Every structure is written in C-alpha cells, then in structure tokens.
Amino acid sequence: MLGVAAALAFSSAAMAQTAAPAAPAAAPPAPAYTFTFNAAYSSDYLFRGLSQTSGKAAASGGVDFTAGQFYLGNWDSQVDFGPTANDPSDRTQFEYDLYGGFRPTLGKLNLDLGLIRYGYTNSPSAANYAYWEAKLLGSYASGPNTLGGAFYYSPEFFGKTGAAEYYEINDALVLSNKATVSGAVGYQALDKKKAGINGYTTWNVGATYPVTDHFGFDLRYWGTDSKATNFYTKTFAGDRIVATLKATF
C-alpha cells in the first residue's frame, strides 16, 4: 500500500544540566490518503455464480484510492462471452469497472454505499453490455467472525435487460492460522420479459490463505440452481471449483 509519508519532527534546542527530560515524540499523523494495488490470476472468472470467461482462466488487476471514508477505484479483467445471438463473432475480451463511494460506521456496523460502472471493450454495439449499479453493503464483526449482507440495484442491467436487483448474505471466519473460511448465498432478480429468466440463486464457499502479507491463495466452490444451469448452459453456470492467486501492495 502506498501512503503519504508522515514528516518526522526534529528538535535541536540546547538543554541546561537542570532541564527536565524531553517529552516523548508524538506519533506521526495517519496518512491523508492511500493507494492500494491488486493483481490476480484465476482458473475461472465468476460473477454471481456465472462464468465471464466461458470456463477459462483470467488475469485481473486494479487500484483503489482511499481518503478517510471515501474511495474511488478501477478493476479490470479478461472476459470471454463466446458467440452471442447479437453477434456470432463476439470478441469481447476485456472488462473495466469504475466505482466510488463511502464507508461510514455505526458503532460496530460497517457500511459501504457506492456506484459501479461496468464497461467492456470491443463489444458488439447491439449487445449493450455496459451498465450501472448502486450498492449498499453492511457487515458486523464479532471477534474472528464477520457477518455481512449486500444489495445491488441496476435500472438497466447487462445486455439492456431491464431493472435488476441482487441480494446476498455472507459470513467469514478467521482461523488461528490466519486463513479465512467464508461463504455466501445470493439471489439475482431479473426482468423475465427482457432477460428471459426471472432470476436464479447462487452460492459459494471456500478458504483464503495469506501466504505472506501481500500474497494469498483462494480455493472456492461455486454453484447455481438448475434454472441458471438450464438457461445459461453449463458453459457459464453450474457447479465448479475456482483457484485464485492474488497479490496486494
């Protein structure tokens, strides 16, 4: 993590033999803002239970800027949607996400309110992949356990398929060896008239192990209900195990 360096104060005043001992130096102020970078390589890129790479591996990376409770960020990843009805020669290969928001706290409750813009390069214009979402996240930590919930809303979802909402509950437990076991259950609600399906349920469970302070490994099982598997096919939905190597600095 890159932060603004805190200036150290120096004193050179002469001291008389009878002078009192100098007071301890004050702690340096906290950085006014920070930058955090991340990079990862996954055996598959899953978004709400659906593969974004047709089951293939993906490299990704991003940067986050934080100033107090406010943040801005960008995250990019390889994608591969394969041939589509709009364009059988669809060659969309890159996703870039832009987001921002703020994270207030209410006692032990941590909140995250923000906006996300999902963009795609070289995608067919008729596909209308790009879209916006608003999000509200909350988490409550008690010892090594953190319970959370999330709500996302888009007035016009991926592929211009109408309004959509996503609901999720999640839980994470830090073990004595510093590994984290976590899982989540979510429901993606869709406009059936435009999307062709009224929604589906997805879930995941896995473990993350921090090999070093800046490098970690995640192994996770993902699943979706039969509605998603039947509609999106096994290329994009269904049961799968994903391994991810991630670095932060």
Q: What's the DSSP call for residue 26?
A: P
Residue 131 has pLDDT above 90, yes or no: yes
> CB of 76 within 8 A of CB of 95?
yes
pLDDT over 90 (residue 35)? yes
CB under 8 A, 24+ apart: contacts of 152-157: 152/116, 156/131, 156/132, 157/131, 157/190, 157/191, 157/195
Confidence check: pLDDT of 38 > 70: yes
CB 30 within 8 A of CB 237: no
Q: What is the pLDDT of residues 163-218, one digit of tens each?
A: 999 999 999 999 999 999 999 999 999 999 999 999 999 999 999 999 999 999 99
Of 141, 163, 138, nearest to 151 by C-alpha is: 138
Please state the pTM of the whole predicted model: 0.86
- On whether the CB atoms of residues 35 and 65 are closer than 8 A, the answer is yes
Q: DSSP assignment of 164-226, as one string?
A: EEEEEEEEEEE-TTS-EEEEEEEEEE--HHHHSSSEEEEEEEEEEEESSSSEEEEEEEEEE-H
Q: Where are the domains of the chain?
A: 32-248
Residue 12 has pLDDT above 90, yes or no: no
Of residues 13 and 108, the one with the higher pLDDT is 108
Q: Which amino acid is at 159?
A: G
Q: Which numeric CATH code is attached to 32-248?
A: 2.40.160.40
Q: How confident is the model at residue 82 (pLDDT cuts 50, 70, 90)?
A: confident
- Residue whose entry in the numeric block shows the structure tokens 């360096």: 5
- C-alpha radius of gyration, the chain, whole number: 23
